[in-house]
Amino acid sequence: MRCFGDGDPLYEEYHDTEWGVPVRGDTELLERFCLEAFQSGLAWITILRKRPAFRTAFAGFDPEVVAGYGDDDVARLLADAGIVRNRAKIEATIGNARAVVALHDAGRTLTELVWSHAPDVRVRQPRATRFDEVPATTPESVALARSLKGAGFRFVGPTTAYAAMQACGLVDDHLAGCPVVAG
């Protein structure tokens, strides 16, 4: 039995091939952090189902393009039924893209910033057997959220940062009985 996603082919595919796999690249990480922010208060499957529309609406999460979005783009996105239409989250995504561009202008990358907060131990031993044994935050996710906010990111508290760390493979929280671990 998977950690999550059993019974929905899209969710199963995400669990088996993406969740916990290391992600590098500023565009890829910007997408993951922005989608984690959009997920706040919703089920992750909702975001997965809308992910193709998010990618279209936000130009594949190209930081340079999204950083240039203005009021007309916000209005367009608020009218796009294919995505989650939340003004604060839309504006945060644009702001996060601008933060990535600012990192680049300073000679830094989002990849370096994020991965500098990877814990020394990627897989806790023994592995958790139930999700209530997995933390919602860690000292590393608190520090990552602080660094991201310091760089200008929004909608990145310690819990969202930890969810992104799990999704982007900085940590591997697959449960002990998961077929991904056993495979």
Identified catalytic residue from 19, 31, 36, 162: 36
Q: Determine the Cα–Cα distance for residues 11 and 2; give it in Å rounded to an integer.
A: 10
Domain span including residue 40: 9-182
Tens of pLDDT, residue by residue over 48-61, are 999 999 999 999 99
Short-list 83, 47, 91, 42, CA closest to 67: 91
Domain CATH code at residue 33: 1.10.340.30
Angle formed by the axes of helices 87-105 and 71-78, to 10°?
140
Annotated catalytic residue, options 11, 19, 31, 44? 44
- DSSP, collapsed to helix, strand or coil, labels residue 110 as helix
Question: Would you call 112 a catalytic residue per the annotation?
Answer: no
What was the pLDDT predicted at 183?
A: 64
Picking from 101, 105, 115, the residue whose alpha carbon sits closest to that of residue 147 is 115
Indicate the number of domains in the chain: 1
Q: Quote the CA–CA distance of 115 and 138 in Å, as a whole number.
A: 15
Active site residue 36: yes
Q: Is 14 considered catalytic here?
A: yes
pTM reported for the whole predicted model: 0.96
